[in-house]
Amino acid sequence: MPQHVVIIGAVALGPKAACRFKRLEPDSTVTMIDQEKMISYGGCGIPYFLSGDVSDPAQLRATSFNMLRDEKFFDKAKYVRVMTGAKAVSIDRKHQSVLVRNLETQEEETLHYDKLVIATGSIPNLLSVPGSDLPGIFTVSNMEDAIHIREQVAGGKVGNAVVIGAGAIGLEVAEALADLWGIETSVVEIRDQVLPGIVSPIMARMAQHHMEENGISFHLSEQVQEITGRDRVTGVRTDRRSIDADLVIMAAGVKPNSALAASAGLEISPRGTIVVNEKMQTSDPLIYAGGDCVEVQNLVTGRPAYYPLGSMANRQGRVIGTNLAGGDARFEGAVGSFIIKLFDISVASAGLSIASAEQEGFQAASGFMAQLDHAHFYPEKDIMYLELVVDKKSGRVLGIQGLGNRTEGMMARVSAVATTLKYRPTVADISNMEVPYSPPFSSAMDVLNALGNTMENILAGKNRVMDADQFAEWWENREDGKTFFLDCRGWGNAEPFVKKFPDHWKSIPQDELLDRIHEVPGDKRIVLICNTGVRSYEAQILLDHVGIRDTYNLQGGMAAVKKWGLDLL
Amino acid sequence: MPQHVVIIGAVALGPKAACRFKRLEPDSTVTMIDQEKMISYGGCGIPYFLSGDVSDPAQLRATSFNMLRDEKFFDKAKYVRVMTGAKAVSIDRKHQSVLVRNLETQEEETLHYDKLVIATGSIPNLLSVPGSDLPGIFTVSNMEDAIHIREQVAGGKVGNAVVIGAGAIGLEVAEALADLWGIETSVVEIRDQVLPGIVSPIMARMAQHHMEENGISFHLSEQVQEITGRDRVTGVRTDRRSIDADLVIMAAGVKPNSALAASAGLEISPRGTIVVNEKMQTSDPLIYAGGDCVEVQNLVTGRPAYYPLGSMANRQGRVIGTNLAGGDARFEGAVGSFIIKLFDISVASAGLSIASAEQEGFQAASGFMAQLDHAHFYPEKDIMYLELVVDKKSGRVLGIQGLGNRTEGMMARVSAVATTLKYRPTVADISNMEVPYSPPFSSAMDVLNALGNTMENILAGKNRVMDADQFAEWWENREDGKTFFLDCRGWGNAEPFVKKFPDHWKSIPQDELLDRIHEVPGDKRIVLICNTGVRSYEAQILLDHVGIRDTYNLQGGMAAVKKWGLDLL
- Per-residue pLDDT of A172-197, as tens digits, reads 999 999 998 899 999 999 999 999 99
How would residue A283 be classed by pLDDT, with cut points 50, 70 and 90? very high
Please tell me if residue B45 touches chain A, with a CB cutoff of 8 Å: yes
How, if at all, do strands B108-112 and B242-244 pair?
Answer: unpaired
Q: How many CB atoms lie within 10 A of CB B135?
A: 10
Q: Which residues of B touch A417 (CB under 8 A)?
A: 419
Return d(Cα B471, Cα B469) in angstroms, integer.
5
Task: Compute the average pLDDT of residues B226-231.
Answer: 96
Return d(Cα B71, Cα B355) in angstroms, integer.
45
Report, at the CATH architecture level, how domain B4-122+255-324 is classified.
3-Layer(bba) Sandwich (3.50)
Please tell me if residue A316 touches chain B, with a CB cutoff of 8 Å: no
Q: Is the CB of A338 less than 8 angstroms away from the CB of B76?
A: no
Interface of A with B in 93-132 (CB under 8 A): none
Fold held by B338-459: FAD/NAD(P)-binding domain (3.50.50)
Question: In Å, how far is B510's CA from the nearest CA of chain A?
Answer: 6
- Predicted model pTM: 0.97
Please tell me if residue B417 touches chain A, with a CB cutoff of 8 Å: yes
Q: Does domain A4-123+255-324 have CATH number 3.50.50.60?
A: yes
Return d(Cα B490, Cα B495) in angstroms, integer.
9
Q: Is the CB of A419 less than 8 angstroms away from the CB of B414?
A: no
Which of A75, A299, A311, A374 to probe the B interface (max B CBs under 10 A)?
A311
ipTM field = 0.97
> What's CA A3's distance to the chain center, in Å?
39
Q: B270 Cβ partners below 8 Å, 6+ apart?
A: none
pLDDT at B134: 96
- What are the residue ranges spanned by the domains of chain B? 4-122+255-324, 137-252, 338-459, 465-564
Q: Which residue of B has its CA nearest to A330?
A: B428
> Which tens digit of pLDDT belongs to each residue from B67-116?
899 999 999 999 999 999 999 999 999 999 999 999 999 999 999 999 99
Residue B274 scores a pLDDT above 90: yes
Q: Which residue of B has its CA nearest to A333?
A: B432
Task: Compute the average pLDDT of residues B333-342.
Answer: 97
SS (H, E, C) A7-39: EECCCCHHHHHHHHHHHHCCCCEEEEECCCCCC
pLDDT at B513: 97
Please tell me if residue A504 touches chain B, with a CB cutoff of 8 Å: no
Q: How many CB atoms lie within 10 A of CB A90?
A: 15
pLDDT at A144: 87
Q: Say if residues B418 and B337 touch (Cβ distance below 8 Å).
A: yes
Task: Compute the average pLDDT of residues B327-354.
Answer: 97
> Which tens digit of pLDDT belongs to each residue from B371-399?
999 999 999 999 999 999 999 999 999 99
Whether B4-122+255-324 shares its CATH topology with B137-252 is answered: yes
Residue A141 scores a pLDDT above 90: no
Q: How many CB atoms lie within 10 A of CB A256?
A: 24
Domain A465-564: give its CATH superfamily.
Rhodanese-like domain (3.40.250.10)
Please tell me if residue A387 touches chain B, with a CB cutoff of 8 Å: no
Q: Which residues of A touch B436 (CB under 8 A)?
A: 337-339, 348-350, 411, 414-415, 418
Q: What percent of chain A has pLDDT over 90?
A: 94
> Which tens digit of pLDDT belongs to each residue from B120-146?
999 999 999 999 999 999 999 888 889
pLDDT at A57: 87
Question: In Å, how far is A333's CA from the nearest CA of chain B?
Answer: 9
Question: In Å, how far is A410's CA from the nearest CA of chain B?
Answer: 8
Chain A to chain B Cβ contacts (< 8 Å) = 288
Return d(Cα B345, Cα B193) in angstroms, integer.
17
Q: Is the CB of A411 less than 8 angstroms away from the CB of B407?
A: no
Task: Compute the average pLDDT of residues A266-285.
Answer: 98
Q: Which residue of A has its CA nearest to B312?
A: A444
Residue B41 CB-density burial (10 A; 0-12 exposed, 13-18 middle, 19+ buried): buried
Task: Compute the average pLDDT of residues B505-518.
Answer: 97
Which of A169, A307, A419 to probe the B interface (max B CBs under 10 A)?
A419
The per-residue pLDDT of chain B, averaged, comes to 96
**Torsions phi, psi for A510 (to 5 deg):** -55, -35
Q: Is the CB of A444 less than 8 angstroms away from the CB of B339?
A: no
How would residue A525 be classed by pLDDT, with cut points 50, 70 and 90? very high
pLDDT at A64: 86
Task: Compute the average pLDDT of residues B342-362.
Answer: 97
Q: Which residue of A has its CA nearest to B316?
A: A432
Q: Is the CB of B444 less than 8 angstroms away from the CB of A420?
A: no
Q: What percent of chain A has pLDDT over 70?
A: 100
Domain A137-252: give its CATH superfamily.
FAD/NAD(P)-binding domain (3.50.50.60)
pLDDT at B394: 96
Q: A290 Cβ partners below 8 Å, 6+ apart?
A: A13, A17, A117, A119, A276, A280, A312, A313, A316, A317, A319, A320, A331
pLDDT at A42: 87
Q: Is the CB of B339 less than 8 angstroms away from the CB of A436?
A: yes
Q: Say if residues A373 and A433 touch (Cβ distance below 8 Å).
A: no
Please tell me if residue B333 touches chain A, with a CB cutoff of 8 Å: no
pLDDT at B225: 98
